[in-house]
Amino acid sequence: MSKSEYEHASSESPSSGGRSEYSAGVVRETSSSKVGYRSGSWRGLVLGTAGFATVSAIVMFVYGLRIWGSGSLLTTVLGIQLSLVAITSFLVAHAGRLRAKLLEVKNWRRPEWGNNVENPYEIEFDQSKTIHFLLIGIIPTVIFAGFAALVLSKWTFPVENVLLIPAGQTVLIAILAMTCSIVWLMLARSFDAIAGDEENSRDLPEAESMMEAAWESCWAMAFLAVVMLSRQIVDWPETVLSIFFLAWSLLVSVEQLCRLFSGWMTAKATHDSFKSPTVVFLRYMVFVRGNPIKSFFFTMEQKWGVSFRSSWSIRFVARAMVPSLVLVFFMAWALSCLYVVGLGEFGVRKDFGKIHHEIIEPGIHFKYPYPFGTVMTFPVKKISMLPIGYEKKTSAEYSYIWTKEHGTEFEIPLNQEESFVVNAMVQFKIKEDPTGFFNYVEKCQNPENAVSEFAYRALVDATMGRTMEYVMSVDRAAFAKELSDRLQKQLDAEEIGIQVLEVSLLNLHPPVSAAKDYLEVLSEEIRQESKLHTAREQGICRQYQAEVQAAAEIAQAKVNGIIKVQNAKNETAGVLQAHETYRLNPGCYRFQFWLDNAQSVLEDRRLVLVDESIEVFFDSQKSGGNGMSRAILSNAK
């Protein structure tokens, strides 16, 4: 039975009597009075803390994740830390509602007319408990713990690649951080006062955990301000603080998750009171007294029973701590007179702000103690590579086909109608000669920006007024050498102290937006060229065939000529032979000539020879098809 059904039944049932109505009315009046009376005094403070932590975390994430600004690992980590504080604040704010639900459960009286009626407030308490632990506590904590683990694995190592806040913004961030630290200090003092008051602490049992979270944020903002001011001198404190707060946030989130899971399993509606498990032992051990050192000794005494008040050695350590810290500080300050210039580096000493024009070779050297003397080291042997014309995507998103998007590319105009894209890689290093090296030290603040700017200028100068056809057909090695010479000339003119080693042209192509039209034009040119080559090949083939045919006909004509000459010779020889025969025996020759002519005339004709002396005559007509003459007997004489 729900709460509304129960109240309706208790007000209308005739068997309930006046006492049930009175009891229900007492329950509602008592619950509303106690909930509003106690929670109103601290709810605004807790919600204000939650809102301030949420807004601060959003600002840190927006700046640190490059949504707006230059990006920074430290601000991203502080955004995770402030998010955990905001989760604690929202848990504390919602814990008041759970205590109100628990009060309703305790003040509920079973009606006389229904022995099997369930307490409707227990169902509401269980639902609110799920919202409290799962939606407000566990899920957000898991999200930020996972994000912290991702930051630790992807963005933290190697430490040389940690993204730092730009030096020009450190002073402004230090001022804002000190302002936030003061606000958190006021909030911590406010929750400390609530925790110290017995009546208020009963109404807000989580006041101590809120105080510890506020002290944590106060110290975090103070450290951020100090590190930002130290960035004017050194950079390594920002990296150290980033890694420390990242590890701290991971440990706090893991412990908070364990406590939330345990509280979810153990919180019951039958308990007398409810307290959200927002106490984190790490925060307690460091911030329970505001001062981390006092908090540590207090934790040792309260949690493990180690009494520092009665121990002479601990009192001695406590008294000697400040002088010891001062001595350690001066020893560390004295050690700042030593410095090391690494292999492949040149050093420059700076005493009282004045640069000594003397190159310091690798090794161990002495200087004035900090901050009177500093040393700047420069990796003169390191070869840097800078992409020109594009910003490459990750390997998973990179495309090796220029017609597809493969990173952010910049179009360079050739003339009023054409533009192209160049993908180049510039390799450069610091000059090692004294003049060039000190030019770099004194005049080059950001070498990559300088090389990039002059490279684009050299590229524009080398291609201005040219056509796309020239750019696409130019000798790339010669073009790269021309770009390298132009870039080095411009850098030398500005006396920046950078030596250009090589300019490598990775790709030259039209803009990706014009890829379709360019490929269509290129395809048409290829088709036309293919047709031209085909026509040329066909002409060559036909010419060859004509030449072969002419050669064959010439050869046949020569053969025919030889044959005719031979026939003419044969005929001439025959005529000569006939003349010689006629000269020897003219009569015989004439008779032979007559016989030959008669044979040629009478060939294939029927001829009958009749002789008076014989009774047989021959028929010269061929018989059948066997070529034999027929003999015909005749009785005629």
* Confidence (pLDDT) at 305: 66
Tell me the pLDDT of the chain averaged across its residues: 78
The DSSP H or E segment spanning 609 is strand 608-609
Residue 42: pLDDT over 60 = yes
Which of 46-55, 81-90, 143-152, 286-295 is predicted least confidently? 286-295
Residue 393: pLDDT over 80 = no
373: β partners: 351
Report which DSSP code applies to 512: G
User: What gap in Å lies between CA 276 and CA 102, rounded to an integer?
Assistant: 13
Give the angle subtended at the CA of 219 by the CAs of 166 and 297, to the nearest 5°. 145
Phi–psi pair at 501, nearest 5 degrees: -85, -45
The DSSP H or E segment spanning 459 is helix 447-463
Residue 515: pLDDT over 80 = no
Residue 256: pLDDT over 80 = yes
Find the mean pLDDT for residues 306-318: 61
Residue 9: pLDDT over 80 = no
CB 53 within 8 A of CB 85: yes
Residue 248: pLDDT over 80 = yes
pLDDT tens digits, residue range 578-633? Answer: 788 888 888 887 888 788 787 787 777 776 666 565 554 455 554 444 444 444 44
Report which DSSP code applies to 396: T
CB 626 within 8 A of CB 611: no
pLDDT tens digits, residue range 150-196? Answer: 998 888 877 777 888 887 788 889 999 999 999 999 999 999 988 88
Find the mean pLDDT for residues 189-218: 88
Strands 616-623, 628-633: parallel, antiparallel or unpaired by DSSP? antiparallel
* Confidence (pLDDT) at 47: 92
Residue spans of beta strands (DSSP E) within 433-517:
498-509
Residue 377's SS3 state is strand
The DSSP H or E segment spanning 58 is helix 43-64
Which of 64-73, 424-433, 554-563 is predicted least confidently? 64-73
* Confidence (pLDDT) at 154: 84
* Confidence (pLDDT) at 114: 54
User: What gap in Å lies between CA 537 and CA 576, rounded to an integer?
Assistant: 58
Give the angle subtended at the CA of 328 by the CAs of 324 and 333, to the nearest 5°. 150
Percent of the chain past pLDDT 90, that is, above it, reads 21
Which of 388, 411, 392 lies closest to 400 in space, CA to CA?
Answer: 392
* Max avg pLDDT among 1-10, 97-106, 551-560, 587-596: 551-560
* Confidence (pLDDT) at 304: 72
Residue 5: pLDDT over 70 = no
Find the mean pLDDT for residues 243-256: 93
Find the mean pLDDT for residues 248-257: 94
The per-type count for the chain, helices as H runs and strands as E runs, is 19, 14
Q: Label residue 462 by pLDDT band (50, 70, 90).
A: confident
457-465, long-range: CB within 8 Å, 24+ apart, which pairs? Answer: 457/490, 458/483, 458/486, 458/487, 458/490, 459/388, 459/389, 459/412, 459/422, 459/424, 459/483, 460/412, 460/413, 461/486, 462/486, 463/412, 463/414, 463/420, 464/413, 464/414, 465/414, 465/415
CB 369 within 8 A of CB 333: yes
* Confidence (pLDDT) at 24: 35
Find the mean pLDDT for residues 487-512: 81
pLDDT tens digits, residue range 330-388? Answer: 887 888 788 888 888 888 888 887 888 888 888 888 888 877 888 888 888 888 888 87
Q: Residues, the chain, total?
A: 637
What is the token pair recorded at 194? 């609530």
Strands 628-633, 354-355: parallel, antiparallel or unpaired by DSSP? unpaired
pTM beyond 0.85: no
Residue 420: pLDDT over 70 = no
Residue 15: pLDDT over 50 = no
Percent of the chain past pLDDT 70, that is, above it, reads 75
Which of 119-123, 206-210, 231-235 is predicted least confidently? 119-123
Report which DSSP code applies to 444: -
